[in-house]
Structure 1
Amino acid sequence: MIVLFGRKILNLKELKEFTKEAEKDGMRGTSYEVIKEIELSDDEFEQFGKELWKDQTWISEEDGGCNEKGELRCIRVKNTKTNKSILVDSEGYTYPRYTAIEK
């Protein structure tokens, strides 16, 4: 799978706008590997989407980076009610440094 990751995106609205513009501009996406999955309730997912810049207890400095195939290692954050998900590559931090909408 290939998705468009944005760097230091503040919230879900900004991520959607970034993705739309990047697709419009013909940007190429990145291959990824899901290394962990986090399930959030609808309310938790909504709150997470409002504060993508915030440190999370379930993100460690070891999450993220690239695997041996050159794919981004990421966490799938899934809304249990809607099944929508955001991909997170922490790149050595404890917040979602890079985020993408998984389709």
Structure 2
Amino acid sequence: MAGVQAVGRDITERKQTEQLNRQAFEQIERNIEQFAALGDHIRQPLQVILGMADLADDPKTSAVIHDQVERINEYIRQLDLGWVESREVRAFLRRHDRE
């Protein structure tokens, strides 16, 4: 006696989840690139501002500009930390996505 047995499953939800995961990874990649580029784009004009502040005849004004540039640099350092954390999150997710 011969027979055939078949099992069917709807994998639509799994495919949708896989697509969402791919989109999330792609967004993380874009965010990482944007963090890095943003820091560079901000740092370049800051160097020009510092150079101009050093040429100012007023030491008080120059000191204020230097202080404010340092504040902005601190914000950029925080962005850099976010960039590093995003890379670590991406690596973690990629390791555990395959399990």
* More strand, by proportion: 1
Q: Which has the larger radius of gyration?
A: 2
* More helix, by proportion: 2
TM range (shorter): under 0.3
Q: Tell me the TM-score normalised to structure 2 length.
A: 0.20
Q: Tell me the TM-score normalised to structure 1 length.
A: 0.19
